[in-house]
């Protein structure tokens, strides 16, 4: 009877939500946040999940050994906070890290978290039979052993300034007792992969495929109960519909708004924006090899002087302003500013039309009277650019860029392609130039994957085939150097990548989320707007009816 009455009262209270009334609850904790997710999660199994929303859920349900704080500095340990490990110590040779597991830590189904779970998690992550690309990020970990009932030891292959990050960032600790008996190759397809059990401050509650994913507060969590009661990701694929749902008050957070969408929030008293530092590189990649004859240099872009002249002919600031207004920032070099050692002291190739013309003339590209395109030995100064048809901003950028190069008599042809078709063309190196986006780790060593000679082979991601042996050596040298010497060496790497112009470094995109004002969002990180979700709160006086649902679940 009591249960029925409380449910009836709840339904009445929930009905009042439509009227948007404010409640009178005074509890310090409470509240519901509904997030408009752009796509359903691909998986809730940490080693293979890649979609942003899946990673958000995983980060809330599972724990790392240590978490990077909002500075997101991967060097050293100063900018990491305790998570599953309540302490750690380095071996004298800096080749192993002992993590002491918090004795209070419990899995959501009851058992204590043990060092054996850490060893098990590493074994799963490192096994390529699982699938996914995370194993590539764990290559500096040699093994994980259990020292005693409270200590796991991570053994590293080599010393590195970012060894602590290598050992902790990718690895979410999973419960061995839950997965015992499931072969690694079958884990991703196991029903357990859809009902995660972790030790994080939120528990998984439900996943209705295509509709929603919900997590609720773990009230007895060893790190403290989260302020919010529940967080729900409501799948809303269409960007315009996501904004409409935010404006209609049906969702509280619409992540990754376009710049023009963010502008629509101004003047809405209940909504505001949450900004995040970007950790993405956006550039126009030049193919330095001839796509038709890969052994030969590209007839236009294979020449460094020509690439530098093209770079000088582009007013990057104006180009970006034309699409993003003031929301995006021009890239200073090959990495975003938020990568801690991306040095702002480097000298970019600036826009200078007169110098660009002179450089093109000097490189042998002459403009004949009456001709609209420069030529050298009969070859026109002409190249095509691959543009993903799914990105309206890149399509606009391509058109503006085409116009910018025209006064210098450089002909640009826009080749719009479906994203996966474009990816296939890039990997096959069948292109002249292309708009490329990479979500990068906060480490300069990412440049090895993007620009090293080794990556220029058929199995690498250096699609433009930029090869520079001295750069390879400089990257190796910088990666093993710490302190001011390391910074100086990285600065040299950045400057080489600017001066050789293997790409036109474009912009750091605006990362703007629309959010309801009643939510006090704290602790965003460049890689995760949700990083501080367990500490987000809604003051009692500002709660609306759906915030008062609490942790109740319907009788089934």
Partner 1 sequence: MLALIARRLLQTLTIVAVVCTATFALLHAAPGDPVDAMTADPRMTAAVRAHERARLGLDQPLAVQYVRYVAATARGDLGWSLTSNRPVAEAFAETVPRTLLLMGVALILSFAIGIALGVAQAMRRHSWFDRVAGLVSTICWSIPEFWLALMVLLLFSVELGVLPSGGMRDITTYEFASPLGRVWDVARHLLLPASTLAILSAAGIARFQRGAMMDVMREDYVRTARAKGLDERSVMLRHVLRNALLPIVTLVGLYFPALLGGSVFVERIFSWPGMGELTLRAIGSRDYPVVLASVMIGTVLVCAGSLLADLLMRWVNPRLRSA
Instruction: Report long-range pairs for 187-194 (Cβ below 8 Å, ≥24 apart).
Output: 187/45, 187/47, 187/124, 187/130, 188/43, 188/45, 188/47, 188/48, 188/130, 188/131, 193/43, 193/44, 193/45, 194/43, 194/44
Nearer to partner 1, 48 or 144 (CB): 48
Nearer to partner 1, 220 or 421 (CB): 421
Beta strands in 169-278 (DSSP E): 202-208, 212-217, 230-235, 253-257, 271-276
| Residue choice 21, 25, 27, 50 for contact with partner 1 (CB under 8 A) | 50
Nearer to partner 1, 14 or 414 (CB): 14
CB atoms near residue 282 (< 10 Å): 22
Nearer to partner 1, 218 or 252 (CB): 252
Tell how far CA 386 is from the center of its chain: 23
| Residue choice 438, 453, 520, 522 for contact with partner 1 (CB under 8 A) | 438
Q: Find out whether 256 and 39 touch, Cβ atoms under 8 Å.
A: no
State how far the Cα of 544 lies from the Cα of 541, in Å rounded to an integer.
Answer: 9
DSSP letters, 75-89, are SSSTTEEESSEEEEE
Q: Which of 396, 438, 428 is nearest to 414 (CA)?
A: 396
Torsion over CA: 331, 303, 497, 445 (sign): positive
Nearest-approach distance from CB 313 to partner 1, in angstroms:
27
Q: Is 425 in the site for partner 1 (CB under 8 A)?
A: yes
- Compose the 451-490 pattern: x for residues touching partner 1 by CB under 8 A, - for all others: -------xxxx-----------------------------
Q: Which of 87, 63, 68, 86 is nearest to 78 (CA)?
A: 68
Selected range binding partner 1 among 56-64, 173-181, 208-216, 375-383, rule: CB under 8 A: 208-216
Site for partner 1 in 216-275 (CB under 8 A): 232, 234-238, 240-241, 244-245, 247-250
Nearest-approach distance from CB 305 to partner 1, in angstroms:
28
Nearest-approach distance from CB 189 to partner 1, in angstroms:
7
Nearest-approach distance from CB 210 to partner 1, in angstroms:
4
Q: Find out whether 88 and 156 touch, Cβ atoms under 8 Å.
A: no
Selected range binding partner 1 among 99-107, 115-123, 431-439, 534-542, rule: CB under 8 A: 431-439
- Compose the 371-390 pattern: x for residues touching partner 1 by CB under 8 A, - for all others: -------------------x
Nearest-approach distance from CB 52 to partner 1, in angstroms:
9
Q: What is the CA radius of gyration of the chain?
A: 26
Nearest-approach distance from CB 145 to partner 1, in angstroms:
25
Nearby residues of 140 by Cβ (< 8 Å), 6 or more positions away = 156, 157, 158, 160, 163, 166, 167
- Compose the 10-49 pattern: x for residues touching partner 1 by CB under 8 A, - for all others: xx--xx-x--------------x-x----xxxxx-x--x-
Q: How many amino acids of this chain bind partner 1 (CB under 8 A)? A: 75
Site for partner 1 in 176-205 (CB under 8 A): 188-189, 193-194
Selected range binding partner 1 among 133-141, 342-350, 351-359, 525-533, rule: CB under 8 A: 133-141
């Amino acid at each position: 009877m009591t249960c029925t009455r409380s449910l009836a009262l709840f339904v009445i209270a929930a009905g009042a939500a439509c009227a948007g009334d404010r409640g009178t609850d005074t509890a310090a904790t409470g509240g519901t946040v509904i997030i408009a997710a752009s796509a359903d999660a691909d998986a809730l199994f940490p080693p293979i999940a890649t979609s942003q929303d899946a990673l958000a859920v995983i980060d809330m349900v599972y724990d790392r050994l240590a978490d990077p704080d909002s500075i997101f500095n991967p060097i050293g340990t100063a900018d990491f906070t305790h998570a599953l490990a309540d302490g750690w110590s380095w071996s004298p040779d800096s080749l192993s890290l002992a993590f002491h597991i918090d004795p209070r830590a419990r899995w959501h189904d009851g058992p204590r978290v043990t060092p054996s779970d850490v060893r098990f998690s590493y074994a799963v992550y490192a096994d390529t039979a699982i699938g996914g690309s995370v194993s590539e990020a764990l290559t500096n970990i040699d093994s994980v052993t259990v020292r005693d009932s409270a200590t796991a030891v991570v053994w590293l292959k080599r010393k590195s300034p970012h060894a602590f990050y290598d050992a902790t960032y990718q690895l979410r600790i999973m419960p061995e007792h839950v997965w015992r008996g499931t072969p690694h190759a079958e884990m991703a397809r196991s029903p357990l992969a859809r009902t995660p059990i972790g030790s994080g401050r939120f528990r998984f509650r439900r996943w209705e495929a295509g509709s929603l994913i919900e997590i609720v507060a773990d009230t007895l969590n060893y790190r403290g109960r989260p302020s919010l009661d529940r967080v729900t990701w409501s799948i809303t694929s269409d960007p315009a519909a996501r904004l409409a749902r935010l404006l209609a008050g049906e969702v509280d957070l619409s992540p990754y708004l376009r710049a023009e969408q963010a502008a629509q929030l101004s003047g809405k008293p209940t909504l505001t924006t949450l900004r995040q530092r970007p950790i993405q590189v956006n550039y126009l990649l030049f193919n330095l090899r001839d796509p038709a004859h890969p052994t030969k240099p590209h007839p236009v872009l294979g020449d460094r002087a020509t690439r530098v002249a093209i770079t000088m002919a582009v007013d990057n600031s104006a180009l970006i302003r034309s699409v993003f207004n003031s929301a995006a920032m021009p890239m200073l070099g090959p990495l975003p500013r938020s990568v801690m050692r991306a040095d702002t002291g480097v000298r970019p190739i600036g826009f200078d039309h007169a110098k660009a013309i002179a450089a093109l003339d000097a490189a042998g590209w002459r403009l004949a009277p009456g001709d609209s395109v420069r030529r050298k030995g009969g070859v026109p100064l002409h190249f095509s650019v691959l543009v993903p048809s799914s990105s309206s901003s890149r399509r606009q950028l391509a058109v503006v860029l085409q116009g910018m190069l025209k006064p210098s008599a450089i002909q640009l042809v826009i080749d719009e392609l479906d994203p996966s078709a474009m990816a296939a063309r890039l990997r096959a190196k069948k292109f002249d130039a292309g708009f490329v986006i990479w979500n990068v780790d906060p480490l300069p060593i990412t440049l090895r994957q993007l620009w090293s000679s080794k990556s220029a082979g058929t199995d690498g991601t250096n699609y433009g085939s930029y090869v520079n042996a001295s750069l390879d050596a400089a990257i190796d040298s910088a990666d093993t150097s710490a302190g001011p010497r390391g910074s100086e060496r990285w600065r040299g790497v950045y400057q080489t990548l600017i001066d050789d112009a293997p790409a036109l470094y474009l912009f750091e995109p605006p990362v703007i989320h629309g959010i309801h004002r009643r939510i006090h969002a704290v602790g965003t990180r460049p890689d995760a707007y949700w990083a501080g979700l367990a500490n987000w709160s809604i003051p009692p006086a500002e709660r609306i009816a759906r915030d008062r649902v609490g942790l109740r679940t319907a009788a089934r």
